[in-house]
Structure 1
């Protein structure tokens, strides 16, 4: 498999050496820094794609060390480098990042890339290589159908992460020496990318309906179901946007680097398309839900975007905002069903979700300690904050139990025939909160406590027993204010 050292191997970057596209990587980072970028892109593109790439590169910074490299192909290149073969990075990406990547890897003898004069892709790249090396005097590693222009003048082809049609183009153009194949993202991977499992959070939309004992009203149930789907679609869109804006931080995280966009399993372009589609579907559904729900959803979207751009970097502000975003689902459910949530329900929600948000941060800090790092990338926390985060998180969880106990003490028999049965739920919540924090302290907590709770048998047992006591207490269906 080794090659003659005098035959250079020209290597493509986007989609070949890395499982991503540098121009799109630049776009999401530039957009995070300057929102107006999205309006400037069409004008820059009209001046040529190389001009667009330059403007995006000048307004962004990419951590090239944590890019999603195709490590199997990279190992092959390192082996070729060890055999003294000439390797040249030939890419349509702008020179700023092409040169940084080449410097970081240290295996390329030269870099040829898009500059201010030419966009080095397709035929432009083929013309350059033919002029520099001549026909059949170089090998080329690529991944796209448009690389066919280059393979037609190459000695041999190395095909990386390509579709079947591209492989056929390469075979018709020249001898294909190697194929580095990679499975395409499955439906399951896409569902995970939009955080379909996080839709369980949206069950909070039904809480005001259940707490007010209005669940026998079919129109309200339908409205709550529509709100559930609408909120889920919108939340999924914001999750995708958040992941795209947080690529560098996710790639520096031992767990989050496996996420679909951070790992390159799903392209940034697909992510942008998915977010747009989900958002449009969510907006269409608003026509069938009371307008107050739309107001709550708009506040949720605005807060989420501000969180993604800035608030997530501010310690304590981030967890309070997360608690508010959780609680907004309860408010959204009340708005969809035209029910007024009470002080007790909102107070309980805020304290519970603040505790869970702090669980998430504590888990991240423990992972930092295990990775022998001091500071969370893209966050405002350091490992020295773990003790106070633990203290605030447990205190917030116990305050939620206190709120629930005070609520029970304020009840009369108009809402529950046997309100005393609700007292049995208090120790169950106390046990669950304490157990969550104990698991976190031991370093066994999934960074997302909601995902952990979904998979955790203990959490399901607590939920089922609590539902049983609630059913025993809930014998009367008198219409009064929600919990």
Structure 2
């Protein structure tokens, strides 16, 4: 699930008997805070290695330590957004048959505690980046927090802008590792990462629209304002631009000066196959969480590994 891209049922306070009793909290306060921080979503923050890996500067000791620190700080920021969002949506979540089990809605984590911990993480993560000598990283983390909190409050109700905000969150993850290490970011890298993120976000929304067709109130309110045809157009357009950007990056390098094969150019084949394979699930309306799609489809995972190997060989100059 993308950061704060939660099912929007409004924030009307439940009156009367409601949908049933809120289930009791499970575990202690610390356990509830961890669950609210969505550990399953932390895998998305691995994107912070994208820029250093693309530049071939990931495996020095300095780069590894710096990248690991950036991963921790970005994870803290995303956790802050989840905590604040769940505190804000606690009343609405209690009226939902599934979300009522979330720690804040279920009472395991008091709303003031969720706000306090989320606010503390939101302040400490950028401050730690600044103190460690990376003002650019601190600025990007602050921008990410501001954008995601604005999404929680209002932007998730604005057509098209909601797609752009979620995709930009992924792009920021891909950028921040390079910025922290002072690595110049290629324009083709930014285009590929940005439109690749938009492709997955729009495919996910399209899948939600297909699966929830005819189920009024079962999904985010804004989704009903999109047509499936429009969302299909967005993910197809984004996929095309991402492929074009990657091809231009691969061809920009020209013929290799060394190495057994032109791995940079050959990796285009694997990249396009991966996009086409992912598009199968998007077209069927089953492209939910990107990590679930990749991890549960062996063919796509294999294509991804082949692409990763080719990409690594290209960066290493073999």
Same fold (TM over 0.5): yes
The answer as to whether partners of 2:137 and 2:180 remain within 8 angstroms in 1 is yes
TM-score by length of structure 1 reads: 0.56
The answer as to whether partners of 1:204 and 1:329 remain within 8 angstroms in 2 is yes
Deviations 1:141-182 (A, max 9, x none): xxxxxxxxxxxxxxxxxxxx5xxxxxxxxxxxxxxxxxxxx6
Within the candidate set 295, 301, 307, 2:145 is matched to 301
Alpha-carbon distance in 2 for matches of 1:256, 1:419? 52
Shift of 1:63: 4.1
Shift of 1:454: 4.5
Classify 1:248/1:409 alpha carbon distance in 2 versus 1 (closer, same or farther; 3 Å).
Answer: farther
The answer as to whether partners of 2:178 and 2:184 remain within 8 angstroms in 1 is yes
Alpha-carbon distance in 2 for matches of 1:385, 1:193? 32
Matches within 5 A, 1:213-362: 213-247=56-90, 259-262=102-105, 266-286=109-129, 287-362=131-206
Shift of 1:425: 3.1
Deviations 1:103-123 (A, max 9, x none): xxxxxxxxxxxxxxxxxxxxx
Larger RCO, structures 1/2 (Cα 8 Å, 6+ apart): 2
Matches within 5 A, 1:77-116: none
Aligned residues: 308
Deviations 1:271-325 (A, max 9, x none): 2243134335424532224111111111111111111111110111111111111
Equivalence for 1:202:
45
Unaligned runs of 5+ in 1: 1-32, 34-59, 73-160, 162-181, 478-483
> Once superposed, what is the RMSD of the aligned Cα atoms?
3.4
Equivalence for 1:466:
307
Classify 1:460/1:67 alpha carbon distance in 2 versus 1 (closer, same or farther; 3 Å).
Answer: farther
Alpha-carbon distance in 2 for matches of 1:346, 1:355? 14
Higher strand share: 1
The reply on whether 1:395 has 2:237 as its aligned counterpart is: yes
TM-score by length of structure 2 reads: 0.81
The answer as to whether partners of 2:278 and 2:300 remain within 8 angstroms in 1 is no
Equivalence for 1:54:
none
Unaligned runs of 5+ in 2: 1-9
Matches within 5 A, 1:437-456: 437-446=279-288, 448-456=289-297
Alpha-carbon distance in 1 for matches of 2:90, 2:204? 18
Alpha-carbon distance in 1 for matches of 2:275, 2:94? 30
Equivalence for 1:404:
246
Alpha-carbon distance in 1 for matches of 2:236, 2:16? 37
Greater Rg over alpha carbons, structure:
1
Deviations 1:184-243 (A, max 9, x none): 369776434212222222222222212122224322332222111111111111122223
Alpha-carbon distance in 1 for matches of 2:94, 2:257? 51
